[in-house]
Amino acid sequence: MFPDAPMMVLPEERLRARVHDLMPRLWESLAELVTHQSVYGDPEPPLEVTAQTIAEMFHDVGITTAQVDHVTHNGRTSAPLVLADQVAHEGLTTVLLYAHYDVQPADESGWRTKPFKPETIDDENHDPRMYGRGAADDKSGVMMHLGAIQALRGNLGQLPLNIKVVLEGEEETGGSVLEQFLAANEDDKRFHADLIIIADTGNVRVGAPTLTETLRGIVVADVEVETLAHKVHSGMYGGPIPDAFMALVQMLASLQDPSTGDVSVAGLKDYDHPGWPTVSEAELRAAAGVLPRTNLIGSGTLQKLLYGKSSVNVIGLSGLPLVSGASSALCPKAKARVSLRLAPNQDPGEAFAHLRDHLVAAAPWGLEADVRQVGEGAGFITGEGEHQREIEEALCEAYQVDAVVRSGQGGSIPLVNAFRGANPTSDVVLWGCEEPRANIHGKNESVSWSELEHMTLAEALLLQSVMSPIPLQQ
């Protein structure tokens, strides 16, 4: 099956040049994807069209098995998936490439550009940045995979590597059908690989190659309180009759210690990791746009607060009209959606139980709170496997540095644990283009040209390093 001649390995400088030459086309393809309003939870057609567009892009670089598909679990069908299983030979290393194409909603107010009309603007260092929703999170991850494959296939033809592609359209839901399906079907060979590359995190800053070694978990819950059968006039009944929204405000305020800002829910865990880099307060403030008059909250180091401790915020409210439609009435029923970030070693089920008990106990005036879980995802702690050296060397070579940064990620990628469950001995790589200036989930989301180029090169170098030393017979 295989000849004796060694495989033609591209020297690092030639591969670097190839990625550099591909960048204008990758940038153009990324811009095309950003125009797709693939907001999670939107009706099927926008997601279906985006998935089909991506599948065609992978066909164009030789991944001819790429197709749009779905999985079903407990009566629910996933958003469109782009799946590929390109088998060169059963005995070769199998690499699974993951990213997601769904994006957060985008209110145009406050954007310097239109969210779904990508625009490239040079930063102060003359590094072009593409502005647009999803440019970084996570359509840049799709482009990394596409570019790495294209760079390697330039003159190698069929790669001596088995490649699987998994691109999903509901990562932003905080608990996708794919995650639940895979957790219940760990023997599904479509998701088995020796090396799993998750392109959905990023560097601690532009130009600082970073491996993400921990992820926080998450629990999302709705809390609702009801006081009246219907609205009543606040002037006529205000005083003895409790307002549901005011009750809800007290319950929500109880989630944080008023003096420190720490989460007040009993039973939650903390986690420390020796590899986390020190976080500068000045850099954190600048990256997040913290106003000078705003004090930081929480006890402990900044890195622990960001990566290893729980945090809580309200991500949705219902019960009161907007200010423009305000009326003099008592609110009969109010609901909040609460997002609770968890330490990497915290069990989400236990965390929800603690959150529920806290909110029920915090309900004032004898009211009963209804607390329901609507999403969850476990945290993640990486281990070191057989490809660790190749992973680090690929990053160092791409950025031409001597060492990589090992960091945590405050966000959550619930599917990572499902991949680990199905592949307990495989290496999982967490990296990407989403450095702090990318402002993912916020206004003016953007991605750096240099980050996309360097990370695409890093992935190409890693793929080349795990290829078979001999090619398939042509």
**Amino acid identity at 169:** G
**pLDDT exceeds 70 at position 109:** yes
Contact 254, 264 (CB under 8 A): yes
- Of all residues in the chain, the percent with pLDDT exceeding 70 is 95
pLDDT in tens, 226-264: 999 999 999 999 999 999 999 999 999 999 999 999 999
Backbone torsions φ then ψ of 465, nearest 5 degrees: -70, -25
Mean pLDDT of 166-195: 92
Going by the DSSP 8-state scheme, the letter that residue 420 receives in this structure is: H
Least confident of 26-30, 71-75, 172-176: 172-176
- 3-class DSSP state of 397: helix
Residue 11: the pLDDT is 80
CA of 22: how far to CAs of 114, 129, 407, 453, in Å?
26, 17, 29, 9
Residue 89: the pLDDT is 86
Mean pLDDT of 188-203: 96
d(CA 47, CA 41): 9
**pLDDT exceeds 90 at position 297:** yes
Residue 472: the pLDDT is 44
Residue 385: the pLDDT is 82
CA–centroid distance for 284 within its chain: 19
459 is written with which tokens? 């992935």
**pLDDT exceeds 80 at position 349:** yes
d(CA 45, CA 133): 18
pLDDT-based confidence at 465, cuts 50/70/90? very high
pLDDT-based confidence at 3, cuts 50/70/90? very low
- 3-class DSSP state of 415: helix
d(CA 388, CA 385): 6
113 is written with which tokens? 């550009």
Question: Given CA atoms 314, 319, 324, 327 in this order, what sign does their dihedral have?
Answer: negative
**pLDDT exceeds 60 at position 2:** no
Contact 334, 224 (CB under 8 A): yes
**pLDDT exceeds 50 at position 6:** no
pLDDT in tens, 159-179: 899 999 999 999 988 778 999
- 3-class DSSP state of 214: strand
209 is written with which tokens? 């190659």
pLDDT in tens, 300-316: 999 999 999 999 999 99
d(CA 382, CA 430): 9
Residue 41: the pLDDT is 76
Backbone torsions φ then ψ of 25, nearest 5 degrees: -70, -40
Residue 153, C-beta contacts closer than 8 angstroms, at least 6 positions apart: 61, 62, 159
- 3-class DSSP state of 379: coil
Q: What is the DSSP string of 29-94?
A: HHHHHHTS--BTTS-HHHHHHHHHHHHHHHHHTT-TT-EEE--EETTEEPSPEEEEEE-S-TTS-E
Mean pLDDT of 31-52: 89
Going by the DSSP 8-state scheme, the letter that residue 443 receives in this structure is: T
Average pLDDT of every residue of the chain = 93
Which residues, listed in sequence order, are joined to residue 119 by a DSSP beta bridge? 131
- 3-class DSSP state of 96: strand
d(CA 180, CA 183): 5
- Domains belonging to the chain, first-starting first, are 12-215+379-465 (3.40.630.10), 217-282+296-377 (3.30.70.360)
Residue 321: the pLDDT is 84
Mean pLDDT of 126-146: 97
Q: What is the DSSP string of 334-359?
A: EEEEEEEEE-TT--HHHHHHHHHHHH
Contact 165, 396 (CB under 8 A): no
pTM: 0.89
Residue 451 CB neighbours (<10 A): 26
Mean pLDDT of 362-380: 95
130 is written with which tokens? 């593409």
pLDDT-based confidence at 469, cuts 50/70/90? low
**pLDDT exceeds 90 at position 474:** no
**pLDDT exceeds 90 at position 275:** no
Residue 166: the pLDDT is 98
d(CA 275, CA 155): 39
- Of all residues in the chain, the percent with pLDDT exceeding 90 is 82
pLDDT-based confidence at 471, cuts 50/70/90? very low
Q: What is the DSSP string of 105-158?
A: ----TT-SS-TTS-EEEE-TTS-EEEESTTTTTTHHHHHHHHHHHHHHHHHH-S
pLDDT-based confidence at 44, cuts 50/70/90? low
- 3-class DSSP state of 22: helix
d(CA 436, CA 106): 18
Residue 183: the pLDDT is 92
Could you check whether the bond before residue 137 is cis, i.e. omega within 30 degrees of 0?
A: no
Mean pLDDT of 36-43: 84
pLDDT in tens, 381-429: 988 888 999 999 999 999 999 999 999 999 888 899 999 999 999 999 9
Residue 43: the pLDDT is 65
